[in-house]
């Protein structure tokens, strides 16, 4: 019994000592720590060499490590890089400058978009491009950082992501010389899944709003995007920040990335914080003066806005669909999600509301409504894959009578990349609505018996809304004509549609 009492007293003494030490620290006692602070971006990239794999944070130009990329561009001896990034900025800024200087051998991306130099080098056989779904990149990087070698996902099942054959490298004659490999598959609960491997980089280059000398990071608004997962997946992570704050100023519950992941940190020398697509809210008078093509898009999207129901969580795809945020019935609440890390997205801003750290998936300036939240890309796609969304509205190039969707590539001619579309249409409980013009510019139909372009998703579309009509996709049956746009008839729809369809008994002109 005496021995037990002595042990208890000793334990109490240790607890008391530890409590006093912690109290001293909390009271502001001096604490020695190893500083990770570097003086410049040139100094911070020491050790980066040719052939390295770099994980590059940011989304478009939002949250990109501007200064670190400039430092890499100044080092012309660094060549043959593999860059893992959602996209490559613009032709003249961000990661695009490393394309211009020919320092990149391979891009691992989800979206080429409007970067003409990116597209030109890829289609011209000068650059290897491994195109992957956006959510797959985010999860592969997150998994790599978490020590998970591989995982299974529904994203890409039934497409060339599964079967292989997506062009990675063309030759000068436009022939495919390197193509993607087929994925291993496995069935869980009656559904097929693809296996994807985790990604780890030699270096991760990320950008945050604030940080301290221990490497703790805080992001601002939607600039968390790919920065957060990539910060965890670099063998060496280098973070540039707008502001270095004293250790202890960042409260523990404010920190987004713990310093354990960050090896080097610096205050960025200068920041331009460009906005790729500065987009402002339009008045009704301004809408009336728009070109006919834009009026046609607005006509489609106003009808699409009728799909919203009170309390819905909805993702709006880039391009035409995102316009729907401006036409929500004010009597209902709709929570708009943007896959780059926003929930509670509002309309386009006024000139006074513009913030470079708030952009949507189309890289356009946006607002966030009261109660909205911002988070990283891996968290965003976890919401999508986890069936948290009630509906997604996407653009389309082609839709088949079975509801197959194509919207990311015209082989050898035009490459948008799949972006987040494959992830969005693979969520089995989310309603998928496609908005598009009924025909191409040459008058050829976009609604077909069979898609001729690479697939985004198989039998995934529930409703099609065009400038001419509304179709529902009925499983195992085909298309049902539900509504007509003003001035259209059943016969005019048959003449401009590339497959047969049934007509609802109550079909009428409604928009």
State both tokens at 29. Answer: 């006692």
C-beta of residue 376 within 8 angstroms of C-beta of residue 229: yes
Which is nearest to 395 in space by CA: 459, 458, 446, 343?
Answer: 446
Give Cα separations from 369 to 102, 335, 346, 358, 392 (angstroms).
Answer: 42, 9, 5, 12, 19
Highest mean pLDDT among 32-41, 292-301, 501-510: 501-510
In this predicted structure, the answer to whether residue 308 has a pLDDT above a threshold of 60 is yes
Contacts of 58 (CB under 8 A, 6+ apart): 64, 65, 85, 86, 89, 94, 207, 223, 225, 226, 227
Q: What's the predicted TM-score (pTM) here?
A: 0.91
Residue 18: pLDDT band (50, 70, 90) is very low
Q: pLDDT tens digits for 140-175?
A: 999 999 999 999 999 999 999 999 999 999 999 999
CA distance 358 to 344: 12
In this predicted structure, the answer to whether residue 432 has a pLDDT above a threshold of 70 is yes
On average, the pLDDT of the chain sits at: 93
102 Ramachandran zone, left/alpha/beta (phi>0; psi -120 to 50): left
* Torsion sign (Cα): 328, 334, 339, 340: positive
Among 286-300, 362-376, 479-493, name the one with the lowest average pLDDT.
286-300
pLDDT at 442: 95
Phi, psi angle pair for 32, to nearest 5°:
-80, 140
Q: Is-catalytic flag, 502? A: no
What SS3 class is residue 481?
strand
pLDDT at 30: 57
Scan for tokens 């909205």, then name that residue. 372
Element spanning 442, H or E: none
Mean pLDDT of 433-455: 97
Contacts of 364 (CB under 8 A, 6+ apart): 276, 277, 278, 279, 322, 348
Helical pair 134-145 and 377-385, crossing angle rounded to 10 deg: 120
In this predicted structure, the answer to whether residue 13 has a pLDDT above a threshold of 60 is no
In this predicted structure, the answer to whether residue 438 has a pLDDT above a threshold of 90 is yes
Contacts of 155 (CB under 8 A, 6+ apart): 133, 135, 136, 161, 194, 385, 422, 423, 426
Beta bridge partners of 415: 409
Which is nearest to 359 in space by CA: 278, 271, 242?
Answer: 278
pLDDT at 323: 87
In this predicted structure, the answer to whether residue 19 has a pLDDT above a threshold of 60 is no
CA distance 217 to 239: 8
Contacts of 224 (CB under 8 A, 6+ apart): 63, 256, 341, 374, 375, 376, 377
User: Percent of the chain beyond pLDDT 70?
Assistant: 93
**Residue 28 vs residue 477, higher pLDDT:** 477
CA distance 505 to 497: 19
Choosing from 66, 139, 162, 339, the catalytic residue is: 339
C-beta of residue 99 within 8 angstroms of C-beta of residue 124: no
Provide the terminal-to-terminal Cα distance of the chain, rounded to the nearest Å: 87
In this predicted structure, the answer to whether residue 10 has a pLDDT above a threshold of 50 is no
**Which stretches does DSSP call E strand in 154-249?**
167-170, 176-179, 185-188, 191-197, 201-211, 217-218, 234-244
In this predicted structure, the answer to whether residue 302 has a pLDDT above a threshold of 90 is yes
Q: pLDDT tens digits for 43-62?
A: 999 999 999 999 999 999 99
Which is nearest to 101 in space by CA: 129, 70, 65?
Answer: 70
**Residue 2 vs residue 65, higher pLDDT:** 65
CA distance 448 to 318: 23
In this predicted structure, the answer to whether residue 303 has a pLDDT above a threshold of 70 is yes
State both tokens at 22. Answer: 């912690």
- What's the angle, vertex CA 446, arms to CA 298 and CA 442, rounded to 5? 85
In this predicted structure, the answer to whether residue 291 has a pLDDT above a threshold of 50 is yes
Largest CA-CA distance found in the chain, in angstroms, rounded:
99
**Residue 18 vs residue 506, higher pLDDT:** 506
Q: pLDDT tens digits for 211-265?
A: 999 999 999 999 999 999 999 999 999 999 999 999 999 999 999 999 999 999 9
C-beta of residue 196 within 8 angstroms of C-beta of residue 112: no
Element spanning 96, H or E: helix 96-100
In this predicted structure, the answer to whether residue 1 has a pLDDT above a threshold of 80 is no
In this predicted structure, the answer to whether residue 34 has a pLDDT above a threshold of 50 is yes
In our burial notation (b when 16+ CB lie closer than 10 A, e otherwise), range 387-423 reads eebbbbbbbbbbbbbbbbbbbbbeeeeebbbbbbbbb
Mean pLDDT of 179-185: 98
User: Percent of the chain beyond pLDDT 90?
Assistant: 86
CA distance 277 to 348: 11
State both tokens at 282. Answer: 């339009």
Which is nearest to 160 in space by CA: 385, 367, 363, 411?
Answer: 411
């Amino acid at each position: 019994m005496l021995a037990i009492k002595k042990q208890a007293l000793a334990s109490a003494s240790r607890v008391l000592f530890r409590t006093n030490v912690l109290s001293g620290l909390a009271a502001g006692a001096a604490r020695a720590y190893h500083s990770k602070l570097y003086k410049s971006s040139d100094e911070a990239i020491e050790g980066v060499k040719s052939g390295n794999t770099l994980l590059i944070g940011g989304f478009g130009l939002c949250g990109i490590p501007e200064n670190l990329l400039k430092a890499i561009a100044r080092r012309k001896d660094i060549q043959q890089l593999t860059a893992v990034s959602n996209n490559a900025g613009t032709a003249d800024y961000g990661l695009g400058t490393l394309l211009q200087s020919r320092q990149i051998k391979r891009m691992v991306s989800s979206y080429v978009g409007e970067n003409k130099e990116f597209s030109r080098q890829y289609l011209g056989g000068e650059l290897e491009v491994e195109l992957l779904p956006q959510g797959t990149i985010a999860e592969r990087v997150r998994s790599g950082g978490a020590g998970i070698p591989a995982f299974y996902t529904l994203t890409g099942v039934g497409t060339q992501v599964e079967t292989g054959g997506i062009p990675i490298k063309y030759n000068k004659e436009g022939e495919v010389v390197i193509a993607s490999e087929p994925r291993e598959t496995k069935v869980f609960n009656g559904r097929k899944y693809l296996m994807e491997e985790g990604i780890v980089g030699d270096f991760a280059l990320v950008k945050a709003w604030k940080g301290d000398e221990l490497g703790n990071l805080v992001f601002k608004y939607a600039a968390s995007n790919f920065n957060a997962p990539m910060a965890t997946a670099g063998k060496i992570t280098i973070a540039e920040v707008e502001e270095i704050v004293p250790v202890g100023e960042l409260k523990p519950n404010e920190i987004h990335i713990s310093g354990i992941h960050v090896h080097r940190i610096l205050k960025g020398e200068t920041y331009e914080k460009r906005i790729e697509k500065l987009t402002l809210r339009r008045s009704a008078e301004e809408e009336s003066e728009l070109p006919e093509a834009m009026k046609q898009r607005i006509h489609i999207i106003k009808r699409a806005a009728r799909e919203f129901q009170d309390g819905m969580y909805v993702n709006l795809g880039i391009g035409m669909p995102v316009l729907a945020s401006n036409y929500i019935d004010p009597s209902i609440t709709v929570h708009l999600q943007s896959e780059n890390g926003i929930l509670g997205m509002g309309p386009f801003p006024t000139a006074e509301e513009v913030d470079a750290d708030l952009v949507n998936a189309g890289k356009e300036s946006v607002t966030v409504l009261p109660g909205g939240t911002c988070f990283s890309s891996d968290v965003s796609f976890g919401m999508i894959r986890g069936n948290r969304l009630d509906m997604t509205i996407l653009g389309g190039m082609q839709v088949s009578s079975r509801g197959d969707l194509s919207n990311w590539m015209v082989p050898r001619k035009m490459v948008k990349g799949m972006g987040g579309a494959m992830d969005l249409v693979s969520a089995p409980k989310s309603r998928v609505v496609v908005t598009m013009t009924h025909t191409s510019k040459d008058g050829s139909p976009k609604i077909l018996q069979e898609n001729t372009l690479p697939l985004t998703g198989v039998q995934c579309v529930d409703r099609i809304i065009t400038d001419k009509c509304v179709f529902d996709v009925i499983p195992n049956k085909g298309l049902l004509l539900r509504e007509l746009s003003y001035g259209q008839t059943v016969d005019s729809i048959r003449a401009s549609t590339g497959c047969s369809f049934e007509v609802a008994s109550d079909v009428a002109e409604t928009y």
